[in-house]
Amino acid sequence: MKTFDKILLTNMERPGYTGSLSDYEGTGGYKALKTVLGNVPPNDIVEMVKKSGLRGRGGAGFPTGVKWGFIPKDHPGPKYLCCNADESEPGTFKDRQLMERDPHQILEGIAISCYAIGAQTAYIYIRGEFRLATKILERAIAEANQVGHLGSDIYGSGITVHVYVHVGAGAYICGEETALLESLEGKRGKPRTKPPFPATHGLYQKPTVVNNVETLANVPHIVNRGAEWFASIGAPPKSTGTRVFCLSGHVKRPGNYELPVNATFRDLIYELGGGMRSDKPLKAFIPGGASAPFLTPDHVDVQLDFESVALAGSMSGSGGITVMEEGTSMVWAALRLMEFFYHESCGKCTPCREGSAWIVQILQRILNKQGRPEDLRTLTEICENIGGRTVCAFGDAEIAPVQSTLKYWRAEYEVLIEEAEALKTSRKEIPVLSLS
Amino acid sequence: MIFDKHQETVDDILSRYPVKRSAMLPLLNLAQKEEGYVSQAAMREIAGILDLTPPQVFETATFYTMLNLKPIGKFHIQVCRSLMCALVGADPLIEWLHKHLGIGMGQTTGDKLFTLSTVECLGSCGTGPMMQINDDYYERLTEERVGLILRDLRESGDCSMKSGPFMVPERGEGVVSS
């Protein structure tokens, strides 16, 4: 057994910790902001974050410091930071906990990040359903403004950071960074074609960084304890630090568990999660939110870092791990996720908009024992015509459940289709009327 | 006019953005909070505030599933039906709600108290099955618990079983073998 220090959940797990400003300050909160503002050149912070190896915790895993480095330094006009709190990836519920239990950790991360990229305004784009998190964040911003951790001329440094909460209204796609910007501009949340990238043409066509809640929450810790410290945790050099993994499905103890990224699915599912909820063994798990291809019990010793999961044929994505026990129909599971994607497709790109509807139709008829022998080939072809042919990554995401269940559990599809065929021969033929 | 009595809030919202149109969702959300749904009149008023045409507001509003464009019941029950909740029993619970309330999906009870909807993932997959009623989350649901929640809402308009600041598991464990 190896122990390690949690980073993001440390405070909130202290007995009696409420996440108030005084609680946060009492644990050394806002020390990092005080240290850097006006004392450390912004570019040094960008370099520090680059060196730490911190990668985006929202799903794509893009190196945060590199993203910041794309912001043009000599840009004369305003720049923006958007904190992506749209947490909508099925299987993911970590940002909600970070916001509701320790909001100032995020605000300090936002303030330091704004300073690093030269932004004076940050918007926290939060999903509309998170009413409680919205209230808690707004209260925390008011507290921080009042004592001068945020606002104009912070600590007399001449640096200004205004933070606002912007509440969404129900659209999964607004978690995609350019759709988020469209939505923040008051439009339908449809992803933009890239390039240009938000780093040069983002919010209001100004240089903009969009970072996930958990990503930003790591920043004060990197400043306090150093890039080398962070880079030594996990699976360096490519995947560093810890992540808050969200465990759901058929396990004894679902919930949020912070682990260094070199831990394995076995650690998470069997040790922290207490294993399967009943005597039924593990059948399948999704390793990184609904957009990640399913994996099998053969993969439980895979490490949780981005590279290892990619090597196993899936993605670490948003860090949401959903566990399914023996007896769960994989066709049903794929259909349930496809219904989600069909519901959430923004409609901009034809392959995704039409393809998701077709896939749902085909899966429904297979499950209802009305499938046709050619259906599996059709499914495969539709998936191939969606992947890589859409403006955003949604298209690649929505085919993951179908392709991966077809890969590992094709026989389940085939049995249902065979049953349909058997039923068909016993069904009464509809007489064809001759018009002559 | 819906926004007249909220002039201060409207001004505060507008002051947050360099471009007026960004106030679109905040104002639509405010209209819904005020009237329970987003009326055509509210959307026209928003268009006026933001110097837009009414269709520009309509086209935006129709994109977002949380905005109700028709009046709904006093309590909007939204049950998550996504895979993670379905794995732990959302479907029978939805069936139970149908029967208990005697209404179909998207319908409102005769007394205008409850509207029943199913929704996609609300971000509480570790504590399913779950539902949102108006602003509040209710998690780890069973038929019995839902029955009590509905009873409380009928009787007092509030229910103490709603979720507080989220943390699951309550006490984390910091030990892992690797």
Residue A411's CATH number = 1.20.1440.230
Claim to verify: residue A87 and residue A176 sit in the same structural domain: yes
Claim to verify: residue A79 and residue A175 sit in the same structural domain: yes
Average pLDDT, chain B: 94
Q: Which domain holds residue A70?
A: 11-232
Q: Peptide bond preceding A237: is omega within 30 degrees of 0, i.e. cis? A: yes
Q: Residue B119 phi/psi, 5° resolution? A: -135, 165
What domains can you pick out in chain B, each with its CATH number? Answer: 4-61 (1.10.10.1590), 75-156 (3.40.30.10)
Percent of chain A topping pLDDT 90: 95
What local confidence, expressed as pLDDT, does residue A433 receive? 72
Q: Are strands B131-133 and B136-138 parallel, antiparallel or unpaired?
A: antiparallel
What local confidence, expressed as pLDDT, does residue A428 receive? 64
Claim to verify: residue A225 and residue A261 sit in the same structural domain: no
Residue A103 resides in a domain: yes
For A194-254, the three-class secondary structure string (H helix, E strand, C coil) is CCCCCCCCCHHHCCEEEEEHHHHHHHHHHHHHCHHHHHCCEECCCEECEEEEEEEECECCC
Distances (CA, A) of B123 to A210, A372, A412: 20, 36, 29
Report d(CA B110, CA B91) in Å as an integer.
24
Q: Which residues in chain B are contacts of A88 at CB distance < 8 A?
A: 121, 123
Our measurement of the distance from residue A17's CA atom to the centroid of its chain's CA atoms, rounded to an integer in Å, reads 26
Claim to verify: residue A213 and residue A281 sit in the same structural domain: no
ipTM for the predicted complex comes to: 0.95
Element housing A340 (H / E): helix A330-344
CB spacing of B125 vs A248 below 8 angstroms:
yes
Q: Which residues in chain B are contacts of A267 at CB distance < 8 A?
A: 176-178
**Number of domains present in the structure of chain A:** 3
Residue A39 resides in a domain: yes
Claim to verify: residue A400 and residue A255 sit in the same structural domain: no
Average pLDDT, chain A: 96
pLDDT tops 70 at residue B178: no
Report d(CA A198, CA A303) in Å as an integer.
32
Residue A315 neighbours by CB under 8 Å, 6+ apart: A287, A288, A291, A292, A293, A306, A309
Percent of chain B topping pLDDT 90: 94
CB spacing of A255 vs B126 below 8 angstroms:
yes
pLDDT tens for A132-166 read 999 999 999 999 999 999 999 999 999 999 999 99
CB spacing of B83 vs A255 below 8 angstroms:
no
Residue A430 resides in a domain: no
Best residue of A93, A139, A174, A301 to probe chain B, by most B CBs closer than 10 Å: A93
What local confidence, expressed as pLDDT, does residue B177 receive? 36
Per-residue pLDDT, averaged over A369-388, amounts to 96
Q: Of A256-265, A307-316, A417-426, B22-31, give the lowest mean pLDDT range.
A: A417-426
The residue whose two tokens read 């959903």 is: A322
The CATH number covering residue A159 comes to 3.40.50.11540
The residue count for chain B: 178
For chain B, the three-class secondary structure string (H helix, E strand, C coil) is CCCHHHHHHHHHHHCCCCCHHHHHHHHHHHHHHHHCCCCHHHHHHHHHHHCCCHHHHHHHHCCCCCCCCCCCCCEEEEEECCHHHHHCCHHHHHHHHHHHHCCCCCCECCCCCEEEEEECCCCCHHHCCCEEECCEEECCCCHHHHHHHHHHHHHHCCCCCCCCCCCCCCCCCCEECC
CB-based contact A356:A312 (threshold 8 Å): no
Claim to verify: residue A285 and residue A384 sit in the same structural domain: no
Distance from CA of A366 to the nearest CA of B (A): 18
Q: Which amino acid is at B147?
A: G
**Burial per residue of A365-379, b for 16 or more beta-carbon CB atoms within 10 angstroms, e otherwise:** bbbebebeeebbeeb
**Two tokens at A407?**
């890969």
Residue A199 resides in a domain: yes
Claim to verify: residue A207 and residue A61 sit in the same structural domain: yes
Q: Where are the alpha helices (DSSP H) in A79-176?
A: 94-101, 103-117, 131-147
CB spacing of B21 vs A337 below 8 angstroms:
no
pLDDT tops 90 at residue B171: no
What local confidence, expressed as pLDDT, does residue B150 receive? 98
Report d(CA A166, CA A250) in Å as an integer.
35
Element housing A264 (H / E): none
Claim to verify: residue A59 and residue A184 sit in the same structural domain: yes
Residue A43 resides in a domain: yes
CB spacing of A13 vs B171 below 8 angstroms:
yes
Claim to verify: residue A398 and residue A281 sit in the same structural domain: no
CB spacing of A132 vs B135 below 8 angstroms:
yes
Distance from CA of A342 to the nearest CA of B (A): 11
Residue of B nearest to A96 (CA): B166
Distance from CA of B151 to the nearest CA of A (A): 23
B8 touches chain A (CB under 8 A): no
Percent of chain A topping pLDDT 70: 97
Per-residue pLDDT, averaged over B129-141, amounts to 97
The CATH number covering residue A256 comes to 3.10.20.600
Per-residue pLDDT, averaged over A191-208, amounts to 97
Residue B151 neighbours by CB under 8 Å, 6+ apart: none
Give the domain-ending residue among A325, A351, A376. A325
pLDDT tens for B36-89 read 999 999 999 999 999 999 999 999 999 999 999 999 999 999 999 999 999 999
Report d(CA A392, CA A216) in Å as an integer.
23
- SS3 state of residue A186: coil
Claim to verify: residue A194 and residue A207 sit in the same structural domain: yes
pLDDT tops 90 at residue A5: no
Q: Which residues in chain A are contacts of B29 at CB distance < 8 A?
A: 128, 167, 169
Most distant CA atoms of chain A, gap in Å: 93
To the nearest 10°, report the CA torsion of B41, B42, B48, B51.
-130
What local confidence, expressed as pLDDT, does residue B170 receive? 81
CB spacing of A87 vs B164 below 8 angstroms:
no
CB spacing of B169 vs A253 below 8 angstroms:
yes
Q: Which residues in chain A are contacts of B171 at CB distance < 8 A?
A: 13
pLDDT tops 90 at residue A430: no
Claim to verify: residue A161 and residue A263 sit in the same structural domain: no
Residue A1 resides in a domain: no
Report d(CA A45, CA A106) in Å as an integer.
17
Residue of A nearest to B123 (CA): A93
pLDDT tens for A325-345 read 999 999 999 999 999 999 999
Residue A286 resides in a domain: yes
Residue A2 resides in a domain: no
Claim to verify: residue A308 and residue A348 sit in the same structural domain: no
pLDDT tops 60 at residue B174: no
Distance from CA of B85 to the nearest CA of A (A): 8
Give the domain-ending residue among A183, A203, A232. A232
Give the domain-ending residue among A232, A258, A284. A232
Distance from CA of B87 to the nearest CA of A (A): 6
Chain A neighbours among B 103-162 (CB < 8 Å)?
119-128, 132, 135-137
Neighbours of A77 (CB within 10 A): 8
CB spacing of B82 vs A132 below 8 angstroms:
no
Instruction: Name which of A93, A184, A246 is nearest B22 (Cβ-Cβ).
Output: A184
Instruction: Name which of A87, A170, A186 is nearest B21 (Cβ-Cβ).
Output: A186
What local confidence, expressed as pLDDT, does residue B175 receive? 38
Distance from CA of A418 to the nearest CA of B (A): 26
Report d(CA A151, CA A159) in Å as an integer.
8
Give, to the nearest 10 degrees, the angle between helix A213-225 and helix A42-52. 100
Q: Residue A389 phi/psi, 5° resolution? A: -115, 25
